[in-house]
Amino acid sequence: MEVEIATIGGYEAVGRQMTAVRAGDDVVIFDMGLNLSKVLIHDNVETERMHSLDLIDMGAIPDDRVMSELEGDVKAIVPTHGHLDHIGAISKLAHRYDAPIVATPFTIELVKQQIKGEEKFGVQNDLVKMEAGETMQIGERNELEFVNVTHSIIDAINPVLHTPEGAVVYGLDKRMDHTPVIGDPIDMKRFREIAREDEGVLCYIEDCTNAGRKGRTPSESVARRHLKDVMQSIEDYDGGIVATTFSSHIARVKSLVEFAKDMGRQPVLLGRSMEKYSGTAERLNFVDFPDDLGMYGHRKSVDRTFKRIMNEGKENFLPIVTGHQGEPRAMLTRMGRGETPYELSDGDKVLFSARVIPEPTNEGQRYQSEKLLGMQGARIYDDIHVSGHLREEGHYEMLDALQPQHVIPAHQSLKGFAPYVDLAENMGYKVGRDLHVTRNGNMIQLTE
Ligand SMILES: [Zn+2]
């Protein structure tokens, strides 16, 4: 059987992930993501109303025109998890394919909300829920399997397409977490089994985000302990404490909520995306928040809550807000600019349970936000965080477990691929033979 890979998006930079695998007559698409930084750099762009081709020209969504070169039928569109760089282009591209969108329950719910917000296209694809550990027949000779992985968002999987020529394992995005705060540990046992079954692993496509960082990525339970240490150290402070983190990082939000309660403060989630992700996770029973946890997204209800906090005493609350990257319109940035009823005082604490995404725009905005907060007297606690992506030893362990015949580095720029290429070559792979460094819009023929 012929197996080929179309590397559509995410092979020149992080963002707008999209890869298609053709096995015989069947094609499966993995991810359809958005490169948000290409959108945010323009003022007042509303992607909801934009046409796909304009977004492709901006570099915001994958240029899927290469799909016309694949001779087969698309049988499934499979987003691996709910981050925007993996699902953000579904509302712009999925309607071009007569295929269901297959994902885990939390991811499907986020896809559903995204399609609802779309104003230009009517996306009618079936939404099919599939849990980690489950399989689905693809055409007559192929099978799709979801293997449970751990990442900075819940319900993440690595999809595997089993073909008669061997398994194609799509490895975006994960870290190796054996003690996650929510959900099951990464299923390394299953990855090792897949390597030993039938034809073994034909191809492994890997997320190189942190390939250049030595050692291993710590577990979420390490970030949780770090957070606990910080929060215990300021337990007796009788002024304002504010925290921010990735709104999609439900495990982190859960830790913040629990430690706020331990400190005797009422946690409250503020900001549209805080309400969206945490509300969805709670509705689907991934997390059990206290009954009195308030979640407010709309500007009016947020301002009302801030007024209540000022009236009842800042020392009784812990607002958990958006704005960890210094995004100009996010809550924490507005607080820094003095645009909310919440007044910061000398010595008040601001906890960043996030790392700045190393990109000049983010770094500049975050710098500005921290300066503004500092000018109002706030003390900053930075980097209370662990990454959701594998580092060098995690990459070594994955290659060692899977023993793939071919390896394709993804989810990075050419420069970002370099440390991964070094590692893979040290393990016996060779660029141009079985290690395929590629760009967006290419085809890689694995078997004939
Ligand atoms: Zn991700």
CA of 173 to the centre of ligand 1 (A): 5
CA of 101 to the centre of ligand 1 (A): 18
3-state secondary structure 374-441: HHCCCEEECCCCCCCCCCHHHHHHHHHHHCCCEEEEECCCHHHHHHHHHHHHHCCCCECCCECCCCCC
444: buried, middle or exposed (CB in 10 Å: 19+, 13-18, 0-12)?
Answer: middle
CA of 382 to the centre of ligand 1 (A): 21
Phi (first) and psi of residue 35, to 5 degrees: -95, 95
**How does pLDDT run across 291-333, given as a tens digit for each residue?**
999 999 999 999 999 999 999 999 999 999 999 999 988 999 9
- Tell me the percentage of the chain whose pLDDT exceeds 70: 100
Angstrom CA distances, 395 to 204, 205, 391, 409, 413, stand at: 11, 11, 6, 11, 17
CA of 337 to the centre of ligand 1 (A): 30
CA of 209 to the centre of ligand 1 (A): 10
CA of 314 to the centre of ligand 1 (A): 34
CA of 201 to the centre of ligand 1 (A): 23
CA of 390 to the centre of ligand 1 (A): 11
What pLDDT, on the 0 to 100 scale, is given for residue 49? 84
Mean pLDDT, to the nearest integer, of 177-181? 98
Task: Give the tokens for residue 62.
Answer: 């994958």
Mean pLDDT, to the nearest integer, of 262-266? 96
What does the alpha-carbon distance between residue 307 and residue 37 come to, in Å, rounded to a whole number?
A: 33
Enumerate the β-bridge partners of residue 127: 101
CA of 10 to the centre of ligand 1 (A): 12
Q: What is the mean pLDDT of the chain?
A: 96
342: buried, middle or exposed (CB in 10 Å: 19+, 13-18, 0-12)?
Answer: buried
**How does pLDDT run across 7-36, given as a tens digit for each residue?**
999 999 888 999 999 999 999 999 999 998
Confidence category of residue 360, pLDDT binned at 50, 70, 90:
confident
CA of 308 to the centre of ligand 1 (A): 36
List residues forming the annotated binding site for Zn(2+). 81, 83, 85-86, 151, 173, 411
CA of 402 to the centre of ligand 1 (A): 21
List residues forming the annotated binding site. 81, 83, 85-86, 151, 173, 385-389, 411
CA of 241 to the centre of ligand 1 (A): 29
**How does pLDDT run across 403-429, given as a tens digit for each residue?**
999 999 999 999 999 999 999 999 999
Instruction: Answer yes or no: is pLDDT of 43 > 70.
Output: no
DSSP classification of residue 84: H
Confidence category of residue 287, pLDDT binned at 50, 70, 90:
very high
Mean pLDDT, to the nearest integer, of 174-199? 97
CA of 342 to the centre of ligand 1 (A): 32
State the Rg of the chain over Cα. 22
The per-residue DSSP string of 304-372 comes to HHHHHHHHH-GGGEEEEES-TT--TTSHHHHHHTT-SSPPP-TT-EEEEES---SSHHHHHHHHHHHHH
CA of 250 to the centre of ligand 1 (A): 13
Confidence category of residue 359, pLDDT binned at 50, 70, 90:
confident
Which of 112, 118, 82 has its CA nearest to residue 100? 112
CA of 172 to the centre of ligand 1 (A): 7
Predicted model pTM: 0.96
- How many CA atoms within 13 Å lie on the side-chain side of 394? 30
Instruction: Answer yes or no: is pLDDT of 48 > 90.
Output: no
CA of 306 to the centre of ligand 1 (A): 32
CA of 82 to the centre of ligand 1 (A): 7
Confidence category of residue 100, pLDDT binned at 50, 70, 90:
very high
Confidence category of residue 121, pLDDT binned at 50, 70, 90:
confident
List residues forming the annotated binding site for substrate. 385-389
